[in-house]
Amino acid sequence: MSNTIHSETFIAVKKLVLVKNILISSHGYDELAEDGLFVTDVLVSIEKAVVVEDYPDAFKGASVLLLQKDRNENPIHTVWGIPKGKLEPAVLITAYIPSPLKWDKTFTRRKDA
């Protein structure tokens, strides 16, 4: 996978994840468990992630929605952020299996509501 959207947030998040400077929110843990996802899949697949949406001015700090893959190459959406006013850590805000009812076949574009 390659990035189609340039995101400074993604660049920063990826660097932090690669050096294991991460925090997983309690909501992130809950969502991983709910969809049967593994933290290791999310961490390992960060290098090939695709930026779906970029939120550089989010209220709690810059964040980014990524398309990643699990160990079976199935799509995962993750939202990573960096706390406002800080340079670290990369925070996994949520992770879930995207619904084909809400996303196109590439899982990079929302279907019209």
**pLDDT tens-place string over residues 39-74:** 999 999 999 999 999 999 999 999 999 999 999 999
pLDDT digits (tens, 9 = 90+) for 98-113: 999 999 999 999 998 5
Point out which residues pair with 92 in neighbouring strands. 24, 80
Give Dmax (Cα) for the chain.
39
Domains of the chain: 8-96 (3.30.2310)
Given this model, what pLDDT does residue 4 score? 64
Q: What is the average pLDDT value for the chain, to the nearest integer?
A: 93
Residue 21 tokens read as 């400077």
Is residue 1 predicted with pLDDT exceeding 60? no
Quickly list H helices, 1-113.
Answer: 8-18, 26-34, 39-44
Residues of the chain with pLDDT > 90: what percent?
93
pLDDT value of position 113: 56
pTM of the model: 0.92
